[in-house]
């Protein structure tokens, strides 16, 4: 079996960028075929442990009293939890508590509160009867995996992604990233291939959750779309295309994910309500009434109004020369008024069918320097571009990642261990 060390260091480019923090970890890597399952939390054998999952209606005092603690203990434990671990309440269906005894009938000697798979708060009682607590971060063993798929006839990207074994959460993130570059309605065709490089987090050999999306590739009609996650020297992370340009655009072409385009941008079309030919200055997305409408980009609300054609609409002015408009809303989002600044993805209103509309949909316009442009084809400005130094590092890092992906594509059961 070939080791990742050989794969990744067989390249001079890789050697040249050993200084990169992320590569330092990649170098220590081994591609492993089998996954071993382990267990246990690492306590010594002669203990008796019981694990309680916090349910709705449970409180710390209720659970502690049930284990035989006195009211005085409960107060002391609550106090130390608040001061030392910043825990003031338990979250139902999330937190777990482990009670540790030396044997079944002895009093609890240790309480372990588990608020996340990656954090444990351990409470122990000293000889003087004083409770103390210590927070332990669970060591995470992160494995980078590669999944590739192909769009089949009548497929959607989601279906193809699920078939390729990409978890739903990762797929949603990938969709969000690609939506900056692609029009899923018209760019997705049978025969297109895609691949994703992402992290899986393990603890004691057991998979706990998925991590971050590290790279995405999609063979789109307008050319390959590639995006890589990269950490700049200032510590900020972003996604970049293969040339190191920011992959996150200032605006989204399709504000609502997975919504079908029912009418495209056109300079002349027969209006469905008016009956005569009139330009369609935006794109219509079918969505049910009440679907949240996210702002396509960050900006300031310059109109929140009603007119006969648009019905309830919101207009946002973005940095630079762009404005976006969202029409036919059933209602506006709370707090969105003229002058409010909104973030990219923030809900500004809800889909409806107000104004001249034949059914619930979002009518979306992009206005550049006062002129309507086609949201599906307009070249959108990137945000978060790299400076010269970071770009150089990125290009070297990207080559190493590409090489890793190439190896993984030939050996789909392998993973890179960071």
Question: Measured from the CB atom, is 239 or 326 closer to Zn ion?
Answer: 326
Q: Provide, rounded to whole angstroms, the least separation between the CB of residue 307 and Zn ion.
A: 14
Residue 349 bridge partners (DSSP):
293, 332
Between CA 405 and CA 415, with CA 411 as vertex, the angle to 5 degrees is 65
As measured in angstroms, the least distance from the Cβ of 362 to Zn ion is 8
Q: How many positions of this chain bind Zn ion (CB under 5 A)?
A: 2
Pick the stretch among 59-67, 211-219, 361-369, 390-398 that binds Zn ion (CB under 5 A). Answer: 361-369
Work out whether 365 is an interface residue with Zn ion (CB under 5 A): no
- The closest of 41, 116, 118, 108 to 77, measured between CA atoms, is 108
CA angle 130, 104, 125 (to 5 degrees): 10
Question: Of the ranges 1-9, 30-38, 86-94, 356-364, which one interacts with Zn ion (CB under 5 A)?
Answer: 356-364
3-class DSSP state for residue 181? coil
Instruction: Please identify, among the stretches 102-110, 126-134, 226-234, 277-285, the one whose residues bind Zn ion according to the rule CB under 5 A.
Output: 277-285
Q: How far apart are CB 270 and Zn ion at their closest, in Å?
A: 13
C-beta of 217 vs 284, nearer to Zn ion: 284
**Closest approach of Zn ion to the CB of residue 278, in Å:** 10
Q: How many CB atoms lie within 10 A of CB 328?
A: 26
Q: How far is the CB of 211 from Zn ion (least distance, A)?
A: 40
Task: Tell me which residue has its CB nearest to Zn ion.
Answer: 363
CA 416 to chain centre: 21
Q: Which helix H or strand E contains 77, and what residues bound it?
A: helix 71-85
Quick one: 249 or 280, whose CB is closer to Zn ion?
280
362 closest CA partner among 319, 318, 314, 298 = 314
DSSP 374: -
Per CB under 5 A, does 363 bind Zn ion? Answer: yes
The residue count for the chain: 418
Neighbouring C-beta atoms of residue 258, cutoff 10 Å = 15
Looking up tokens 């084809």 gives 377
284 binds Zn ion (CB under 5 A): yes
Can you tell me which residue has the tokens 């969709």? 175
Query: Are 383 and 343 in contact, with CB atoms under 8 Å apart?
Result: no
Per-residue binding string, Zn ion, 220-259, x by CB under 5 A, is: ----------------------------------------
Which residue do the tokens 């130094």 mark?
A: 389
Minimum CB distance to Zn ion, residue 356 (Å)? 9
Among candidate residues 286, 267, 296, 72, the one with its CA nearest the CA of residue 179: 296
Instruction: Find the part of the chain contacting Zn ion (CB under 5 A) among 58-66, 219-227, 283-291, 348-356.
Output: 283-291
Query: Which x/- pattern, by CB under 5 A, does the window 27-56 give for Zn ion?
Result: ------------------------------
3-state secondary structure (DSSP) of residue 347: strand
Q: What is the Cα–Cα distance from 253 to 161, expressed in whole angstroms?
A: 21
Question: Residue 268 CB, nearest distance to Zn ion (Å)?
Answer: 14
Stretch binding Zn ion (CB under 5 A), from 187-195, 281-289, 367-375, 385-393: 281-289
Specify the stretch interacting with Zn ion by CB under 5 A; choose among 26-34, 217-225, 338-346, 355-363. Answer: 355-363
Phi, psi dihedral angles at 396 (to 5 degrees): -70, -45
Minimum CB distance to Zn ion, residue 378 (Å): 16
What is the closest distance, in whole angstroms, from the C-beta atom of residue 320 to Zn ion in the complex?
Answer: 24
Residues that bind Zn ion (CB under 5 A): 284, 363
């Amino acid at each position: 079996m070939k080791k990742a060390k050989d794969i990744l260091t067989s390249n001079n480019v890789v050697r040249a960028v050993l200084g990169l923090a992320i590569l330092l970890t990649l170098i220590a890597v081994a591609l492993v075929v089998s996954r071993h399952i382990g267990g246990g939390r690492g306590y010594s054998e002669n203990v008796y442990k019981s694990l309680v999952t916090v349910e709705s209606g449970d409180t710390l005092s209720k659970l502690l009293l049930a284990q035989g603690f006195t009211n005085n203990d409960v107060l002391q434990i609550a106090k130390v939890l608040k001061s030392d671990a910043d825990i003031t309440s338990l979250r139902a269906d999330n937190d777990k508590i482990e009670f540790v005894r030396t044997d079944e009938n002895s009093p609890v000697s240790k309480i372990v509160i588990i608020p996340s798979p990656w954090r444990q708060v351990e409470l122990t009682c000293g000889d003087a009867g004083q409770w103390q607590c210590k927070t332990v971060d669970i060591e995470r063993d992160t494995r980078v995996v590669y999944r590739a798929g192909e769009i089949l006839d009548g497929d959607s990207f989601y279906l193809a992604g699920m078939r390729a074994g990409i978890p739903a959460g990762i797929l949603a993130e990938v969709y969000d990233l690609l939506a900056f570059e692609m029009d899923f309605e018209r760019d997705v065709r049978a025969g297109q291939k895609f691949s994703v490089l992402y992290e899986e987090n393990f603890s004691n050999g057991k998979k706990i959750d998925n991590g971050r999306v590290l790279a995405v590739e999609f063979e789109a009609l307008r050319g390959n779309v590639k995006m890589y996650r990269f950490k700049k020297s200032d510590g900020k992370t972003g996604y970049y295309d293969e040339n190191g340009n920011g992959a996150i655009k200032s605006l989204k072409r399709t504000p609502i994910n997975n919504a079908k385009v029912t009418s495209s941008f056109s300079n002349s079309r027969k209006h469905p309500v008016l009956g005569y030919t009139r330009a369609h200055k935006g794109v219509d997305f079918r969505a049910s009434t009440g679907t949240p409408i996210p702002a396509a980009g960050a900006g300031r609300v310059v109109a929140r109004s009603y007119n006969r054609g648009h019905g309830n609409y919101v207009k946002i002015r973005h940095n630079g020369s762009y404005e976006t408009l969202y029409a036919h809303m059933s209602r506006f989002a709370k707090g969105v008024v003229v002058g409010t600044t909104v973030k990219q993805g923030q809900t500004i209103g809800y889909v409806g069918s107000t104004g001249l509309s034949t059914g619930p949909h979002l009518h979306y316009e992009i206005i550049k320097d006062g002129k309507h442009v086609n949201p599906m084809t307009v070249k959108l400005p990137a945000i978060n571009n790299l400076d010269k130094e970071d770009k150089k590092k990125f290009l070297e890092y990207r080559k190493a990642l590409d090489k890793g992906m190439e190896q993984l594509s030939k050996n789909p059961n392998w993973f890179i261990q960071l």
